[in-house]
Amino acid sequence: MSTNQNRVAVVTGGSRGIGRAVAERLAADGQHVVIAYAGNDVEAKSAVAAIEKAGGRAGAIQADVADEKAVSRLFDTAEQWFGRVDVVVNAAGIMILRPVAQLDLNEFDRMHRTNVRGTFVVAREAVGRLREGGAIITFSTSVTRLNLPTYAAYAASKAAVEALVPILAKEMRGRDITVNAVAPGPTATALFLDGKSEDLIEHIASQNPMQRLGRPEDIAEVTSLLAGPGRWINGQTIYVNGGAA
C-alpha cells in the first residue's frame, strides 16, 4: 500500500495550474483532497470533478490564505469532511513582474500578503492541526537563484518562504512532521505562459539541460514524494527545474 493511502491533504491554490496537478496527483495516490481556491468557482468545481471521475475523493472551499479566520474554517471543513488533516500543500501564490523602479507598492503589498503572510497563516494553522506523520509543503521558486530582471519583488516573497521552512521544521521536533518547500523552475502553466511570445518561451525552455519547460505533473511528482514516502527529507527547499539553477 502507498504511504499516501488514506491520508487527507489540504491543497491551497488547488483549482488550477501546479496546485491542481498536485491535488490530482495526491488524489491518485489515495489521499482525500480538500482544495482551497481564491475565487473561481468554475475551476474549483472542475478540479473536484476531475478527481472524482478518476475515482478519488475531493471537495473545494473558497478561502483567502492570508485571512486567519478563513484558513481556520478551511481546516475545520477538512476535518468535518474527512476526519483529520495529514498533509498541507500551500500552492497559492501571486506573481507580479515589474522592475523595482516601476512596481507599484500596492502590487508589492498584494503579492506579499498572499505569498508571505498567506504561507505563514496556513503553516501556523497546520501546526495545530496535523497528526503525527504529517507533512507541510510550501512553494518557492527557482527564480530566487536565477536573479532575473523584473522578478525582484516576487523572488523576495519566495525567499521569505524558504527562510521559514528550516526553522519550522526544527520547531516540529518530536512530532514526526516534515516541513519542506518545492521551488519550480519555468513551468507550462497559464500563469507562466500568459503574455510571453513563442520565441521567448522557446528561449526560456532552452536554458535548462532538459531543453523544455517543466510540466505541472513534474512538480506534482516531487510534491507527492514529500507528502508521503519522503520522510527523511526535512527542512529543505527542493529545486525542481530540470537543472536550470
Any domain includes 201: no
Please give the Cα distance from 73 to 153 (Å, whole number).
Answer: 30
Any domain includes 245: no
Q: 127-140: per-residue pLDDT in tens?
A: 999 999 999 999 99
Catalytic residues: 154
Any domain includes 1: no
The 8 Å CB, 24+ separation contacts for 75-81 are 75/10, 75/125, 75/126, 75/129, 77/34, 78/8, 78/10, 78/34, 79/129, 81/32, 81/34
Any domain includes 192: no
Q: What is the pLDDT of residue 193?
A: 80
Any domain includes 2: no
Any domain includes 177: yes
Any domain includes 208: no
Do the strands 58-62 and 237-240 form a parallel or antiparallel pair, or are they unpaired? unpaired
Q: What is the pLDDT of residue 1?
A: 36
Q: Which domain holds residue 76?
A: 8-186+215-239
Any domain includes 76: yes
The count of structural domains within the chain is 1
pLDDT tier, 190 (very low <50, low <70, confident <90, very high otherwise): confident
